[in-house]
C-alpha cells in the first residue's frame, strides 16, 4: 500500500457533504473509506465504481481530500488523475458526477467513459 501525497481525485464541497452523510448512515465512520475504481463495462467501455470499504488490498493507493480518505487500486490511477467528483441534487435526480479531464467521451448518464 502506498500513500499518495498529491491529489488524485478532487472533491467538491457537495460531494464531500454527501459522502460524510452516507458514511454517517453506514455507521462506524472512522473505520471506513471511499473506494473509487474504474472497471471494464458500460456503454463507453469503462465505468466508475464507488463503494465504502474498511479493508485495504495489497495494491491499494490511498490519499485524503477534504478530510475524506479515498482509496483506489493501481490499475485505476491512470484513469482518475485530476478527476473531480461532484454530487448533484438537481432536476435530473440525486447522483455523483464524474468530471474527468482524461475521458475522450462519456455516455449520456455520465457513469461510463472512454480514453
Rounded to a whole number of angstroms, the distance between the first and last alpha carbons of the chain is 26
Domains and CATH numbers, the chain: 2-114 (2.60.300.12)
Q: Give the other-Cβ count within 10 Å of 108's Cβ.
A: 8
- Can you give the pTM of this predicted structure? 0.80
State pLDDT tens for residues 23-65.
988 776 678 999 999 887 666 578 889 999 999 999 899 999 9
Q: Which residues of 39-68 are buried (b: 16+ CB within 10 A; e: fewer)?
A: eeebebebbbeeeeeeeeeeebbbbebeeb
CB 63 within 8 A of CB 82: no
Amino acid at each position: 500500500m502506498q500513500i499518495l501525497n498529491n491529489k488524485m481525485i478532487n472533491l467538491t464541497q457537495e460531494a464531500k457533504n454527501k459522502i460524510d452523510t452516507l458514511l454517517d448512515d453506514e455507521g462506524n465512520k472512522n473505520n471506513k473509506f471511499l473506494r473509487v475504481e474504474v472497471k471494464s463495462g458500460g456503454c463507453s467501455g469503462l465505468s466508475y465504481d464507488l463503494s465504502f470499504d474498511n479493508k485495504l488490498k495489497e495494491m491499494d493507493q490511498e490519499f485524503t481530500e477534504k478530510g475524506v480518505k479515498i482509496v483506489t487500486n493501481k490499475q485505476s490511477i491512470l484513469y482518475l488523475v485530476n478527476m473531480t467528483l461532484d454530487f448533484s441534487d438537481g432536476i435530473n435526480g440525486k447522483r455523483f458526477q464524474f468530471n474527468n479531464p482524461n475521458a475522450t467521451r462519456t455516455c449520456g448518464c455520465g457513469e461510463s467513459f472512454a480514453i
